[in-house]
Amino acid sequence: MKLVVLGRDGVINRYRDEHVATPQEWEPLPGALEAVARLNHAGWHVVIATNQPGLGSGLLDMAGLNAVHRHMNELLAQHGARVDAVFICPHTVADACDCRKPAPGLLLKIGERFGVDLAQVVVAGDTVRDLQAAHAAGCEPHLVLSGRSSLLSLEEAEQLTVQVPGSRVHADLDALAAHLVQRDHPGRDSGFGGLK
């Protein structure tokens, strides 16, 4: 099974300093829904792993979060795309849980649920925490320069990835998708927009 695990905010949808609390606040990043479709059509299963501390702090409830994810799934479907599952850490930093990225707990649960070798799983996020979680779980870490990392220069991004061995940098989710499709099918013109 080819499995890619994506962060949500800043990878698929626009990052907001406040929590995404309503469907109207969930805005896809340009090209992100199409990128998920490209991955799906190339045989990749896509799963989301997201820290949602608003649940633990009482700023969000599960009904609201489920409504956001229904909206996300509807928009994905309109582009011929889907995610197979959404894994959530509801805890705050103070909870000191094992599932809040950069801890690897969410990724370990994903590996267990899907019965995959985590060394073969691609993980993409917009922060060094995502990379650290991927590395700790034994996955393949990728940084996308969207969301919280969008203001980084390539040099700054590469300095971040030095902290996490094996990390790669891509302009956005579309560039990551192009990279993975090209890697699966060398020589195919994929419109690769990767940076490293």
Domains of the chain, earliest start first: 2-184 (3.40.50.1000)
pLDDT tens across 27-55, in order?
A: 999 999 999 999 999 999 999 999 999 99
Angstrom distance (rounded) from CA 56 to CA 135: 26
pLDDT tens across 61-119, in order?
A: 999 999 999 999 999 999 999 999 999 999 999 999 999 999 999 999 999 999 999 99
pLDDT at 187: 67
Q: Which of 17, 14, 11, 34 is nearest to 26 (CA)?
A: 14
pLDDT at 192: 37
- What confidence tier does 131 reach under pLDDT thresholds 50, 70, 90? very high
Residue recorded with tokens 């582009």:
79
Angstrom distance (rounded) from CA 37 to CA 93: 33
Is there a contact between 104 and 133 (Cβ–Cβ < 8 Å)? yes
pLDDT tens across 51-69, in order?
A: 999 999 988 999 999 999 9
